[in-house]
């Protein structure tokens, strides 16, 4: 009787070809797969069938050709710090971990730019740059990979001064789903030659191809820095100070709000002294000594006029680090408010004239929800996060958290803003995209179909399923 | 015998439908058609069959539906100031003149933004804003429409300080070739929700659809302004001063170079006093009084260290206006050097570390060509224009001008830059796109096919014909 072994599946064949390409850098064991099934944030997971660790753009291209030939899904993976489920392998397939592509390929102080592989993290890059007088200015909190930051169009606390990944990426190396290697953009600071492919891949969340290398703008380390903390009697006074500073064109490079609940959490978690549980602004100015002194004084004067209770400048680098460390631990401080809880983040961003109203309405929603949900905000950009705490075992709490998050997202859209200023869409924000983009969503679908016709790149992310068949 | 009148052509049918839509705002007479057959720059023209003057986004959408139904080409037309042949109707069809869509729809000082129809010009917008304390900062020289500036990703003298149209456009209303109306982006300063359609249409030169409305960032009128002119013994000294200022992160908002030939032309044309025909930098700082004073002094010190021959600050608004008027008349001053000549512009933009070498090699090319070709540069961005003067009746001169322009464009690409920093591709720069973008050009072709499958939007522009059949 002949040996009736089952025919190899496409997955088997792809696995064999990928193993021939990568050797033991293709891993099919449970530990690596589970670790690559989710990012931060909500616990929704998608288990990949395997994890690949390519080391070069060429290896990624060959991997893509193999996966396309066998119709295997590909999910790019960086530091795993994304918050919206971007890295979950919903259809299985290969999680492509780019963290071994971690070489800084070139730094050009003369043109203020650098060339890095996608797996370099922002802290690694800044450590590398320490002696050059330059730094990479974006700071999303997490030590994300630069490829991941580009893919999610990340920004963070410095964006009001230095822009987002949209602004600081000059050029990309991209591997298409079928394994072609393309270079978008150039090292020129500006260009008017053709469709802006760089900006198309920035924010595409791995749904159009792999970002494998980046050319990034750098900036000079500022000669002088002034940081300060100012506390206010009301959220409105704090927010109005921030928005007026923007309207006056004060050149803040960070302008962060903590509401009274979040300030209280940070005081406890980071043992901050001399602060009250009141709405608080953290600000920072970079520049030449006279310029930052003038800007800080103008801001201080404005804050005083708006009724600020305090103004404390962090004079030394150590004091500044302590200040910003407390700000960066806001997430952990928030969780610590309700031990055992999980944190559902929102990411609304609105035109700054509507920020105060939007935040006050949001605080009323929080009260109505009966949940604890502190607010931190990159208020210079009109962006704020609610950290909605809920007990993951309690269905009612989860439902109230979902309802609160939905109200915040839809309100931002009604105010002419966006449901996500910086975290991206991933899995969890797709439900708001029709409200936010309307008919433009059909253009996004056309782009996806044009550049990933087989739908193999990070399936199930960014673009929602159609609710009804297309009518056009 | 029956009347054998010829059947109406698709063009006849489209004309009839468009006339029903627009009445006497559809013009088929020769004068309007000739006026809409070309922009500025080289004299290549494409005569449209008719010129339409819609007044609303809805009219543009209906026009697009009609043209698509009858397979008629559509060419958006603004002020007609583009330099690369963008508005020539190469396949005939309808030139869609958007200048009657010239309403400022909203100005929001609280969020520092405004909403305009595409036919509003930048000077019209700034006149409208005069009493608000705000201004629209981009200045390409010509009084272009804002829709046209977005379509060509324009920038100009202020880009080093305020960015290009890529940075200042928040959101767009776009009419697709088949007449759908979509809204890209939002009023939020940053967003991470989906593909960046705004940046895709910015710079698309009318090849993907019509930009009919724009939401634009505005900035506060600076409290203090310092402008200055500094002359140098050599081009190298002037350029090195400019690039070092950028490397030192001095916050210039304009940083313009004129080489000795262009300075000489401007002295004669604008009757400038106290200037020698030497390489010259024009600089400007915006901000608070102490900040601009400090920046100007740092720049002055740097210029002196680099051997500057002079440093003259324009203290009054009148003196500043005279200065910048002279700079803006550089094009006319250049033409006046050789009466009867035409000006072929180049638009190279390179990483600033290579700018000095690139300019010195370019001047050597100019000498070798035997032509007169002054240089003006937005050197803060690494962008410069050669104004190559040639006699349009002299085939040999034209050939030498073409060869010189090609050397400049290809050199910029070799230095990691672009053949067009701000004028766009249009008709004349398509020949360099394969060298600049390589395989990425195939992605651009895929986008064009996805969003304009019938090829009706501004045919023959931006994307070059394939040289050989695709192999993939």
Q: Give B 383-402 residues with CB within 8 A of chain A.
A: 383
- Output the six-digit token pair for A304: 């005083």
Q: Do A202 and B182 touch (CB under 8 A)?
A: no
B181: which chain A residues are within 8 Å (Cβ-Cβ)?
439
The residue among A452, A450, A433 whose CA lies nearest residue A441 is A433
Does any CB of chain B come closer than 8 Å to the CB of residue A202? Answer: yes
Given a contact cutoff of 8 angstroms between Cβ atoms, the answer to whether A219 and B249 are in contact is yes
SS3 state of residue B386: strand
Question: Smallest Cβ distance to A352: which of B111, B183, B432?
Answer: B111
**Residue A262 within any structural domain of the chain:** yes
| B204 located within any domain | yes
CA distance A9 to chain B (A): 26
Question: CB-based contact (8 Å) between A409 and chain B?
Answer: no
Residue A448 lies in a domain: no
A371 shares a domain with A272:
yes
Contact check, Cβ <8 Å, B451/A451: no
Same domain, yes or no: B267 and B349: yes
B417 touches chain A (CB under 8 A): yes
Rg from Cα positions in chain A: 23
Q: Residue B470: its pLDDT value, please? A: 46
Mean of pLDDT values over B222-237: 95
- Residues listed for chain B: 472
Please give the C-alpha separations between residue B157 and each of A471, B222, B328, B360, in angstroms, as whole numbers.
46, 16, 9, 22
Tens of pLDDT along A85-128? 999 999 999 999 999 999 999 999 999 999 999 999 999 999 99
pLDDT score recorded for residue B327 = 86
Inter-chain CB proximity B191 and A420 less than 8 Å: yes
Q: Which chain B residues are within 8 Å of A196, Cβ to Cβ?
A: 153, 166, 196, 199-200, 202-203
- Is A385 part of a structural domain of the chain? yes
How large is the average pLDDT for residues B43-47?
83
Q: Which residue in B186, B246, B294 is closest to A288 by CB distance?
A: B294
Kindly state whether A420 is in contact with chain B, defined as any CB-CB distance less than 8 angstroms: yes
Domain containing B192: what range? Answer: 104-220
B1 — pLDDT class (breaks 50, 70, 90):
low
Structure-token pair, residue A401: 């958290």
Q: Are A81 and A143 in contact (CB under 8 A)?
A: yes
Q: Is the pLDDT of residue B471 over 90?
A: no
Long-range Cβ pairs for the range B453-456 (8 Å, 24+):
B454/B68, B454/B71, B454/B177, B456/B67, B456/B68, B456/B71, B456/B72, B456/B73, B456/B74, B456/B93, B456/B177
Per-residue pLDDT at A232 exceeds 90 = yes
- Whether A420 and B193 lie within 8 Å, measured CB to CB: yes
In sequence order, which residues have a C-beta less than 8 Å from that of residue A241 and are 6 or more positions away? Answer: A230, A232, A281, A302, A303, A306, A308
CB pairs under 8 A between A and B: 311
Lowest mean per-residue pLDDT among A95-109, A219-233, B2-16, B345-359: B2-16
Alpha carbon of A446: minimum distance to chain B alpha carbons (Å) = 6
Contacts of A41 in chain B (CB under 8 A): none
Percentage of the residues of chain A whose pLDDT score is greater than 90: 86
CB contact under 8 A, B349 and A188: yes
Within a domain: B302? yes
- Could you report the per-residue pLDDT of A46-75, keeping only the tens digit for each? 999 999 999 999 999 999 999 999 999 999
Domains of chain B: total: 2
Residue B187 sits in a domain of what CATH number?
Answer: 3.30.465.10
Residue B113 pLDDT class (50, 70, 90 cuts): very high
Q: Report A:209-268 residues touching B (Cβ under 8 A).
A: 219-220, 222, 243, 246-249, 251
| Contact predicate A393/A410, CB 8 Å | no
DSSP B282: E
pLDDT tens-digit readout, B399-424: 999 999 999 999 999 999 999 999 99
Q: Are residues B243 and B309 in the same domain?
A: yes
B381 and B278: one domain?
Answer: yes
pLDDT tier, B265 (very low <50, low <70, confident <90, very high otherwise):
very high
Nearest Cα of chain B lies from the Cα of A274 at a distance, in angstroms, of 32
Chain mean pLDDT for chain A: 94
The DSSP secondary structure of A79-117, one letter per residue, reads SS--SSSTT--TT-SEEEE-TT---EEEEETTTTEEEEE
Q: Which chain B residue lies closest to A462 (C-alpha atoms)? A: B194
The contacts of residue A342 (CB under 8 Å, 6+ apart) are A42, A43, A335, A389, A390, A391, A392
| B124 and B136 share one domain | yes
CA distance B32 to chain A (A): 28
List beta partners, residue A213. A117, A173
State whether A200 and B204 contact (CB < 8 Å): no
A470: pLDDT strictly greater than 60: no
Partners of B248 on chain A (C-beta within 8 Å) are 220
Tokens of A284: 């920072």
A108, A291, A354 member nearest B351 (Cβ): A108
Helix (H) / strand (E) element for A185: namely strand A181-185
pLDDT band at A312 (very low <50, low <70, confident <90, very high): very high
Residue A472, pLDDT score: 39
Q: Do B204 and A197 touch (CB under 8 A)?
A: no
Residue of A420, A338, A369, A400 whose CA lies nearest to A153: A420
- Chain A environment of B112 (Cβ under 8 Å): 246-247, 352
Q: Is the pLDDT of residue A2 over 70?
A: no
Between positions 328 and 347 of B, the ones with CB within 8 A of A are 347
The candidate with the shortest Cα–Cα distance to A228, out of A242, A214, A209, A217, is A242
Q: Do A443 and B182 touch (CB under 8 A)?
A: yes
Task: State whether A139 and A260 are in the same domain.
Answer: no
Apex CA A463: angle with CA A159 and CA B470, to 5°? Answer: 100
Residue A429's pLDDT is 96
Helix (H), strand (E) at residue A293: helix A289-305
B160 and B258 fall within a common domain? no
Residues B312 and B397 in one domain: yes
Alpha carbons B46 and B30: distance in angstroms, whole number: 13
Assigned domain for A386 exists: yes
Average pLDDT over residues B66-72: 98
Return residues 446-465 of B near A (CB < 8 Å): 446-451, 462-463
CATH number at residue B293: 3.40.462.10
Q: Considering B414, B430, B446, which residue would you say is the last residue of a domain?
A: B414
Q: Of B201, B220, B239, which residue sits at a domain end?
A: B220
Residues B136 and B186 grouped into a single domain: yes
Question: Which residue among A366, A383, A414 closes a domain?
Answer: A414
User: Which residue in chain B is spatially nearest to A208 when comparing CA positions?
Assistant: B195
Compute the mean pLDDT over every residue in chain B, rounded to the nearest whole number.
Answer: 94
Q: Which two tokens stand for residue B80?
A: 């007609």
Using CB atoms, pick whichever of B186, B351, B437 lies closest to residue A111.
B351
Q: Return d(Cα B55, Cα B78) in angstroms, integer.
A: 13
Q: Torsion angle of alpha carbons A448, A449, A451, A457, nearest 10°? A: 60
Contact A112 B352 (CB under 8 A): yes
B451–A463: do the CB atoms touch at under 8 Å?
A: no
In chain A, residues with a C-beta closer than 8 Å to the C-beta of B222 are 249
B152 interaction partners in chain A (CB closer than 8 Å): 192
Rounded distance between C-alpha atoms, residue B257 and residue A97, angstroms: 47
The answer on B349 and B239 residing in a single domain is yes
User: Do A171 and A309 reside in the same domain of the chain?
Assistant: no
Could you tell me if residue B96 is inside a domain? no
Q: Distance, in angstroms, between A153 CA and closest chain B CA?
A: 6
B82 assigned to some structural domain = no
Distance from the Cα of A162 to chain B's closest Cα (Å) equals 12
B221: distance to nearest CA of chain A, Å? 9
Residues B315 and B375 in one domain: yes
- Using the Cβ of B70 and the Cβ atoms of chain A, whether some distance falls under 8 Å is answered with no
Q: Is the pLDDT of residue B472 over 80?
A: no
């Amino acid at each position: 009787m002949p040996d009736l072994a089952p025919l190899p599946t496409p997955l088997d064949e792809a696995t064999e070809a990928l193993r021939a390409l990568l050797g033991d850098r293709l891993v099919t064991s449970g530990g690596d797969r589970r670790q690559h099934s989710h990012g931060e944030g909500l616990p929704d997971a998608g288990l990949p069938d395997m994890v690949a660790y390519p080391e070069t753009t060429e290896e990624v291209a060959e991997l893509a050709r193999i996966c396309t030939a066998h119709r295997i899904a590909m999910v790019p993976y960086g530091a795993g710090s994304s918050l919206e489920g971007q890295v979950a392998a919903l259809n299985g397939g290969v999680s492509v971990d780019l963290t071994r592509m971690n070489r800084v390929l070139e730094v050009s102080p003369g043109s203020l730019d650098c060339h890095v592989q996608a797996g370099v993290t922002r802290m690694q890059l800044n450590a590398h740059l320490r002696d050059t007088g330059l730094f990479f200015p974006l700071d999303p909190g997490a030590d994300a990979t630069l490829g991941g930051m580009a893919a999610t169009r990340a920004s963070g606390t410095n964006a009001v001064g230095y822009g987002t990944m949209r602004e600081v990426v000059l050029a990309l190396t991209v591997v298409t789903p079928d394994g072609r290697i393309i270079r978008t953009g150039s090292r020129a600071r500006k260009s008017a030659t053709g469709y802006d492919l760089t900006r198309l891949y920035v924010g595409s969340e791995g749904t159009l191809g792999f970002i494998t290398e980046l050319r990034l703008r750098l900036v000079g380390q500022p000669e002088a820095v002034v940081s300060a903390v100012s506390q206010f009697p009301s959220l409105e006074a704090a927010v109005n100070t921030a928005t007026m500073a923007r309207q006056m064109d004060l050149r803040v490079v960070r302008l962060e709000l903590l509401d009274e609940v979040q300030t209280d959490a940070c005081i406890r978690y980071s043992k901050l002294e001399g602060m009250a549980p009141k709405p608080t602004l953290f600000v920072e100015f970079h520049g030449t000594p006279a310029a930052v002194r003038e800007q800080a004084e103008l801001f201080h004067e404005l804050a005083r006029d708006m009724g600020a209770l305090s103004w404390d400048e962090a004079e030394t680098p150590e004091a500044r680090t302590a200040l910003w460390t407390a700000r960066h631990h806001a997430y952990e401080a928030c969780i610590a408010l309700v031990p055992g809880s999980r944190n559902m983040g929102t990411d609304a961003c609105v035109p700054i004239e509507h920020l105060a109203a939007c935040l006050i309405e949001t605080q009323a929603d929080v009260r109505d929800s009966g949940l604890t949900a502190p607010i931190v905000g990159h208020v210079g950009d009109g962006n704020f996060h609610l950290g909605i705490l809920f007990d993951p075992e309690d269905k009612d709490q989860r439902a109230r958290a979902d309802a609160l998050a939905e109200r915040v997202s839809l309100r931002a859209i009604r105010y002419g803003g966006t449901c996500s200023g910086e975290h991206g869409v991933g899995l969890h924000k797709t439900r708001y995209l029709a409200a936010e983009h309307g008919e433009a969503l059909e253009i996004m679908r056309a782009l996806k179909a044009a550049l990933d016709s087989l739908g193999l790149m990070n399936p199930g992310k960014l673009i929602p399923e159609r609710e009804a068949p297309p009518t056009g």
